Amino acid sequence: MVGADQTSVVVIAGAAVLAPLLADRLARWVAVPGVVLELLLGVLAGPVLLGWANDHGAIGTVADFGLAMLMFMAGYEIEFDRIRGGPLREGLTGWVLSLVLGLAAGGLLALTGDHGAGMVVGLALTTTALGTILPILHDAGMVATPFGARVMAVGAIGEFGPIVAVALLLTSSQPGRTVLLLIAFALVTVAAGLLAVRQHGSARMGRLLRATLSTSAQMAVRITMFGLILMLWIAGSFGLDVLLGAFAAGVIERMAFGASDLSPGQESLVDAKLEGIGYGFLVPFFFVVSGIRLDLSALADDPRAVLLVPGFLLLFLVVRGVPTYLVSRRDEALDRPRRRALSLLASTALPLVVVITTIGVEDHRIKTSTAAALVCAAMLSVLLFPLLAMRLAKEPAATGS
């Protein structure tokens, strides 16, 4: 007899297939990111509407690993030799300003009666969905441009900064101890990175990686998955959010494969295999399950929360977009349209908003209706901001500055 959990897996997998098909159909009228459709299909199949799927047991575990894979891919996509220096400094400065604005906005919300929500909302507003916007840049051929480097820097800080802030401000009752643990984790990460670079750069490992690219051994993929799981375990053992370990694992593996003697074609093959595992299965699984977990009924029952949706959407622009635009004004590599485009992409949020609001609801810091409003606003940011940003980024350079 087929159980409810087995049925849920089939429904979730089917939604992951249906999302890109719908996106392709809708493309003639409007460009809808697949991640938004995955969330909406999850809501449709979940207990709020049709009741076809749940997130019980192993389903939730696979979804959580999908989130870890998303964060891994975000770290793996970052090319530090292209963003170090000015782009990284600008990204960090802009995010610190965003943190101040976000916590201030959250504090104002707490004063209106939603006590305890201030920290959750404030941190959620500082996030940037790097893993969501990088594929859009890839499709537009902009990753290798100066604009692409700035987006990568802003997105990297917008992913990494909130994870650290959540560890310090949201999930820890002893910030001082957490700081020490973060420092220790950073040292372990550096040591792991140096070891990985050394091993990947050895002649024996290089030969093994090349020889197994098209065999059942698949050493490149096995080593990568082991590295991800190991860093998740290390972060968890330190009492830190495992997403920090996932992001660090991505950075380490990118550095390691960069030090190997794989040819560009072989590196591209490894990238394709990892993207197949991540974006082909685990990541969409996470987003569909996130839709199943989203309690839109709470939003429908609270008219005030419905009004929060456009307010939160505007706050994403104010908290992330405005500081990014102001900091980038001195960047000679960007004209005015591309600065505006960068600000819009910096304001695009979703995965970490889902994570932070989930933590807030579980800790009873934020009402489910407020959390649902924040996630809905993040979905709209993914739907609207990249579309507008790409139009601005493609304008002739002569229109800028």
Number of other residues whose CB lies within 10 A of the CB of residue 376: 22
8 Å CB contact between 334 and 84? no
Amino acid 240: pLDDT: 84
Class at the top of the CATH hierarchy for domain 4-396:
mainly alpha
Amino acid 171: pLDDT: 67
Amino acid 369: pLDDT: 86
- The residue to which tokens 């809905």 are assigned: 376
8 Å CB contact between 291 and 354? no
Amino acid 2: pLDDT: 60
- The residue to which tokens 């979905």 are assigned: 379
Amino acid 124: pLDDT: 93
Which of the pair, 76 or 303, is modelled with greater confidence?
A: 76
- Which of 297, 305, 315, 288 lies closest to 36, judged by CA? 288
Mean pLDDT of 1-26: 87
Whether residue 348 has pLDDT greater than 90: yes
Q: How big is the chain by its Cα radius of gyration, in Å?
A: 21
Cα 70 from Cα 75, distance rounded (Å):
9
Cα 233 from Cα 245, distance rounded (Å):
8
Among the residue ranges 112-121, 156-165, 345-354, the one predicted with the least confidence is 112-121
In which region does residue 115 sit, left (phi positive, over 0), alpha (psi from -120 to 50) or beta (all else)? beta
Q: Alpha-carbon torsion 296, 374, 366, 304, what sign?
A: negative
Q: And the tokens for 25?
A: 């159909």
- Which of 144, 153, 52, 11 lies closest to 94, judged by CA? 153
Amino acid 400: pLDDT: 43
One-letter amino acid identity for 42?
Answer: G
8 Å CB contact between 42 and 289? yes
Cα 262 from Cα 12, distance rounded (Å):
36
pLDDT per residue as tens digits for the range 217-251: 899 999 999 999 999 999 999 888 888 899 999 98
Select the highest-mean-pLDDT range: 106-110, 120-124, 332-336: 120-124
Q: And the tokens for 275?
A: 């993207």
Phi, psi of 337 (to 5 degrees): -60, -40
Cα 72 from Cα 54, distance rounded (Å):
25
Amino acid 113: pLDDT: 63
Whole-structure pTM value: 0.84
Q: And the tokens for 348?
A: 């695009």
% residues pLDDT > 90 (the chain): 35
In which region does residue 114 sit, left (phi positive, over 0), alpha (psi from -120 to 50) or beta (all else)? beta
Number of other residues whose CB lies within 10 A of the CB of residue 224: 23
Amino acid 260: pLDDT: 79
- Which of 291, 287, 270, 295 lies closest to 219, judged by CA? 270
Whether residue 186 has pLDDT greater than 80: yes
Mean pLDDT of 270-285: 91
Which of the pair, 289 or 204, is modelled with greater confidence?
A: 289
DSSP 97-134: HHHHHHHHHHHHHHHTT-TTHHHHHHHHTT---HHHHH
- Which of 194, 201, 250, 205 lies closest to 224, judged by CA? 250
